[in-house]
Amino acid sequence: MQDFQKPSADELKKKLTPMQFEVTQHADTEPAFRNDFWNNHKPGLYVDIVSGKPLFSSLDKFDSGCGWPSFSKPLMDKEVVERSDVSHGMMRTEVRSQTADSHLGHVFNDGPAPTGLRYCINSASLRFVPVEEMEKAGYGAYLAPFVKAGLYKPQPKAETAESKK
What pLDDT is stored for residue 158 in this prediction? 66
Q: How far apart are the first and last CA of the chain?
A: 35
161 pLDDT above the threshold of 60 = no
Q: What digits encode the pLDDT tens for the residues 85-139? A: 877 777 889 999 999 999 999 999 999 999 999 999 999 999 999 999 999 999 9
User: Which residues form the catalytic set?
Assistant: 120
Preceding omega of 112 cis (within 30 degrees of 0): no
| H helix runs in the chain, sequence order | 9-15, 18-26, 144-148
AA identity, residue 122: N
Find out whether 7 and 20 touch, Cβ atoms under 8 Å. no
